[in-house]
Amino acid sequence: MKHYYAFNGDADGLCALQQLRLAEPAASSDIALITGVKRDIKLLGRIEATAGDAVTVLDISLDQNRDDLVRLLGAGASVRYFDHHHAGELPLHPDLTLHIEDAADVCTSILVDRYLGGRYRGWAVVAAFGDSLPEVGRAMARASGMDAQTTSTLQALGVYLNYNAYGETVADLHFDPAGLSTLLQPFGDPLEFVKRSEVYGRLAAGYEEDMSKARRLTPMRQVPGATLLMLPDAPWARRAIGVLANELMHVQPDSALGILSPKMRGGFTVSVRVPAHRSVGAADFCRTFETGGGRKLAGGINHLPEPDVDRFTSSFEACFGAH
């Protein structure tokens, strides 16, 4: 039997995987890791499981992988699915176990933490911070008796792991998420990973360098309630897009934010952040474009063609700008 793990390469996907692999150790020869950059979410299409194989899916939209999920179940594989993105209609199958919740204050690692009874809570705290849920992360840390210094360190680790996942291809990243998951694996305590692995320092240095450039950018358009930013066509900008979006939302919590990043082969990747009190969520707005999706507070469009940019900007301002 082979066990396939399909996981988002961001902090939430990595930390969800880390918790499960700590709780369910297995020989590396029996495991296949399927992942990529954060936007690479149609991962089940890369799995050719057969009868008796097991598939665990972490932090990628069921709605975006529905056909391949049905294919894998039809081939006789068992599938368990942990996710917090829009799922659409949930399929029913005796070999499918679903742990799906799209509440705004939940990430996939929190669902895994619940499943495991909090056995590796530190990694769930890291994920909450990385997935732009700082209040949730702090609340979990307090409930676990973590002091301020520990909480701050876990917050930084979450931000750095999340930052590492953004790019158009794995070549844009500091670490391939599959390799990074292997570097994380020996550490039951994320603080030990911070102390003993050189990865933390390398990510911290890369983050500071990229973000120093990103913070000097100015909006392409800005109206009350809605801000749009255009990034340059550069690897550092593709790496910074997600963290920059989260950071700007904390600076302007009442304004929706859209960040466009040029793709190497034309068009744009788009990151969208929306305040919790808005009637239209990020995922709902992004799904009005062909490759859009996400969750209530954070969404994106994997490919926005150049001719659609004007439609996007006008729709964004009409939807989120003050009237």
pLDDT in tens, 45-93: 999 999 999 999 999 999 999 999 999 999 999 999 999 998 999 999 9
Q: Are strands 78-83 and 292-294 parallel, antiparallel or unpaired?
A: unpaired
Q: Is residue 213 part of a domain?
A: no
In this structure, are 188 and 145 located in the same domain?
A: yes
Mean pLDDT of 181-188: 97
- What pLDDT does 265 receive? 87
Which residue's entry shows tokens 């409930």?
143
Instruction: Name which of 295, 303, 229 is nearest 61 in CA terms.
Output: 295
Q: Is residue 68 part of a domain?
A: yes
Residue 104 has pLDDT above 90, yes or no: no
Q: Is residue 241 part of a domain?
A: yes
251: Cβ contacts below 8 Å, ≥ 6 apart? none
Q: How sure is the predictor about 99, in pLDDT bands with cuts at 50, 70 and 90?
A: very high
In this structure, are 253 and 188 located in the same domain?
A: no
Q: Are strands 3-7 and 54-58 parallel, antiparallel or unpaired?
A: parallel
Domain extent, residue 249, equals 221-320
Q: Is residue 216 part of a domain?
A: no
CATH number of the CATH domain containing 266: 3.10.310.30
Residue 97 has pLDDT above 80, yes or no: yes
201-236 burial code (b ≥16 CB/10 A, e <16): eebbebbeebbeebeebeeeeeeebbbbbbbeeeeb
In this structure, are 96 and 128 located in the same domain?
A: yes
In this structure, are 58 and 197 located in the same domain?
A: yes
Q: Is residue 169 part of a domain?
A: yes
In this structure, are 157 and 55 located in the same domain?
A: yes
Query: Distances in Å between the alpha carbon of 57 and those of 33, 67, 101, 315?
Result: 10, 14, 14, 33
Q: Is residue 212 part of a domain?
A: no
In this structure, are 131 and 262 located in the same domain?
A: no
37: Cβ contacts below 8 Å, ≥ 6 apart? 9, 165, 166, 167, 168, 169, 170, 172, 173, 177
Instruction: Average the pLDDT over each of 105-109, 183-187, 277-281, 319-323 and give the range with the smallest value.
Output: 319-323
pLDDT in tens, 8-39: 999 999 999 999 999 998 877 789 999 999 98
In this structure, are 235 and 135 located in the same domain?
A: no
Instruction: Name which of 299, 292, 303 is nearest 264 in CA terms.
Output: 303
Q: How sure is the predictor about 323, in pLDDT bands with cuts at 50, 70 and 90?
A: low
In this structure, are 196 and 69 located in the same domain?
A: yes
In this structure, are 181 and 136 located in the same domain?
A: yes
Where residue 61 falls (left for φ over 0; alpha for ψ -120 to 50; beta otherwise) is: beta
Mean pLDDT of 217-243: 93
Q: Among residues 145, 172, 206, which one ends one of the domains? A: 206
The pLDDT mean for the chain works out to 95
In angstroms, the CA 89 to CA 278 distance is 24
Residue 281 burial (10 A CB sphere; 0-12, 13-18, 19+): buried
- What pLDDT does 295 receive? 84
Q: Is residue 289 part of a domain?
A: yes
Q: Among residues 173, 206, 239, which one ends one of the domains? A: 206
Which DSSP symbol is given to 177? H
Q: Is residue 211 part of a domain?
A: no
In this structure, are 18 and 85 located in the same domain?
A: yes
CATH number of the CATH domain containing 123: 3.90.1640
> Torsion angle of alpha carbons 66, 72, 75, 80, nearest 10°?
-110
In this structure, are 90 and 202 located in the same domain?
A: yes
Q: How many domains does the chain contain in total?
A: 2
66-102 burial code (b ≥16 CB/10 A, e <16): bebbebbbeeebbbbbbbbbbbeeeeeeeebebbbbb
In this structure, are 196 and 226 located in the same domain?
A: no
